[in-house]
């Protein structure tokens, strides 16, 4: 009986889709995304009658969105990256 070759196995061993480098890059991307969302949070007021200008802080309007976009870029690169 002829054994069917599976494209995802190599010498009877299961072959992962991504390498260790890809998984490390994905983890770094998730950490950058989490940091961006953490910096984006807050700035509200406990009293609805009082306006809090902290929501227009540079951290929330500039730094956090840049980190979020950077995190998504790192995730895309991590998925597409392949060793030569």
Question: pLDDT tens for residues 43-77?
Answer: 777 888 888 888 888 999 999 999 999 999 999 99
CA–CA separation, 26 vs 21, rounded Å? 9
- What is the pLDDT confidence band of residue 7, given thresholds at 50, 70 and 90? low
Mean pLDDT of the residues in the chain: 86
State both tokens at 56.
Answer: 């227009």
pLDDT at 24: 96
Cβ(30)–Cβ(71) under 8 Å?
yes
Between 2 and 30, where is the model more confident? 30
Percent of residues, the chain, with pLDDT higher than 70: 86
> pTM of whole model > 0.85?
no
């Amino acid at each position: 009986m002829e054994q069917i070759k599976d494209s995802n196995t190599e010498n009877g061993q299961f072959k992962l889709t991504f390498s260790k480098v890809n998984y490390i890059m994905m983890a770094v991307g998730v950490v950058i995304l989490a940091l961006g969302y953490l910096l984006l949070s807050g700035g509200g007021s406990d009293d609805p009658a009082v306006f809090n200008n902290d929501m227009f802080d540079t951290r929330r309007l500039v730094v956090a969105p840049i980190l979020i976009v950077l995190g998504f870029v790192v995730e895309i690169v991590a998925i597409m990256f392949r060793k030569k």
